[in-house]
Amino acid sequence: LITASILSKKLAASPDALVLDVKVGSGAFMKSAEDARALAVALTETAVAAGCRTTAVISDMSQPLAPALGNALEVAEVMRVLTGETAGPLVQICVALGGVLLADAGLAGDVQEGADRIAAALAGGQVAERFGRMVAAQGGPVAFVDAWARFLPEATVIREVAAPVSGYVSAIDGEALGLAVVRLGGGRQVEGDLVDPAVGLSGIVRLGDRVTKGAALAQVHAAREDSARAAEKAVRAAITLSDTPPLRPELIRERIG
């Protein structure tokens, strides 16, 4: 049922090639490597049998790809990437997936060439320019790419989540962080809920970071003080600190297909 649900919409578009990003980790639907691999194999085998060249990339989601969660906050992070202000895992996964797609579609000689072309388009501003055209074509601000901060809403309450002790960030419960954002109003808990695009989390620490007691683990963006306090408590509970640094997970676990 999961395989059919995922593939039906994609195969209906009759793509020349398909690259699927199968996440694994605390913030993913598939929490274990075994379950993620089983899903990736089922997806690729089914899609290939339907006549579509398909590759599945199993990637890590034991922590957020970017240091922000929430509608406007995630858009802001995307714009920083598109305009070259920041890099990191979000850029790495986009370049990696894009490289596979260009190679599978016959638009690049191999995956590395495809990845290089994606990275060059990103660095050269072509990706940001095309995104701006997409926004304008759908009725958005023509100047969005050049002045995106003007158009994104800001929360009325912003609080830092202070680390209770000093230590290394050894685990992050991505699902718990996501639910904290939903409870802030960044997602629907029941049908009919209004979504607040301004709320969420920013400045989220990463696995392996060394923090001192009182330093920020993240910032909570909320509409009210009471919801900010509840989110602060949830974020603190979702981030584990230890005396020894953890092994940093590989972003790309495996490629199938």
- Indicate whether 140 belongs to any domain: no
- Indicate whether 86 belongs to any domain: no
- Indicate whether 70 belongs to any domain: no
pLDDT per position as a tens digit, 134-159: 999 999 999 999 999 999 999 999 99
Q: Mean pLDDT, to the nearest integer, of 78-100?
A: 92
Question: What integer pLDDT is reported at residue 225 of this predicted model?
Answer: 98
Task: Give the chain's mean pLDDT.
Answer: 96
Question: What integer pLDDT is reported at residue 156 of this predicted model?
Answer: 98
Domain that holds residue 51: 1-6+14-62
Question: What integer pLDDT is reported at residue 84 of this predicted model?
Answer: 87
Q: Mean pLDDT, to the nearest integer, of 192-201?
A: 97
pTM over 0.85: yes
Residues 6+ apart with CB under 8 A from 66: 74, 77, 78, 81, 88, 89, 90
Count of structural domains, the chain: 2
Q: Mean pLDDT, to the nearest integer, of 105-124?
A: 96
Last residue within a domain, chosen from 45, 62, 79: 62
